[in-house]
Amino acid sequence: MFHREGQNIILSTFFIVVIAVLIAHFYVDIPWLRWLMQIGSVVILVLILQFFRNPKRTVNVKFDEILAPVDGKVVVIEEVEETEYFKDRRRQVSIFMSPTNVHVTRYAASGIITFSKYHPGKYLVAWHPKSSTENERTTVVIRTPKFGEILYRQIAGAMARRIVNYAEEGESVQQGDDAGFIKFGSRVDLFLPLDCAITVKLNQKVIGAKTCIASTVEKKDNEE
């Protein structure tokens, strides 16, 4: 299953690959060069298909848990000043996505969208400290039943050139549903209340709509 944001790119790449394979077959006389062109073209198609994959994930909605919004690796866990919306101290958890990760953004919690805004910006590498405030990004706030308002931010990276955000203010959303897509390498920041219990560790790999990022109650394995 592939994400709808990749349909045009997948179709375009498929036709280009078919043309390249046929040209190599009929017009390239050097055997090793012909095979190189054909295999290289197919590899590019496979990489595009891999990038836009959209695995189906069934979520048992839990109001006392914040789930990972994306697949990737936890690169930041710290208390920070959130200056755009809350303008106060929050717990930040940032997840970096490499080009090999699934790039679907999913709602980390159920609730009502109270804020959704797009910001044009730079394309610093996604792990750069200033990427959260200077890169192209979207900011979305969800009012949840147990955590109050939480904020997540889709951030473009050095390779990402388009962020897709489906969140609209006033909309009711459900944990695990499709919230958007970031093309070709990126990161997502979560800004959570100070009194929530963070249940992941630095450099931990997480799975979108599966891994619990934070809860209202401290997890036992997090206490050990």
Angle between helix 31-51 and helix 7-27 axes, rounded to 10 deg: 170
Amino acid type, 191: F
Distances in whole angstroms, Cα of residue 129 to Cα of each of 39, 86, 125, 172: 39, 19, 9, 32
- Does the active-site annotation cover 186? yes
- What does the alpha-carbon distance between residue 94 and residue 123 come to, in Å, rounded to a whole number? 17
- What does the alpha-carbon distance between residue 55 and residue 103 come to, in Å, rounded to a whole number? 10
Q: Which of 41, 132, 186, 215 is catalytic?
A: 186
Place of tokens 């809860």: 215
- What does the alpha-carbon distance between residue 193 and residue 142 come to, in Å, rounded to a whole number? 12
Q: Give the single-character DSSP code of 2.
A: B
- What does the alpha-carbon distance between residue 125 and residue 120 come to, in Å, rounded to a whole number? 15
Q: Which residues are part of the catalytic machinery?
A: 186
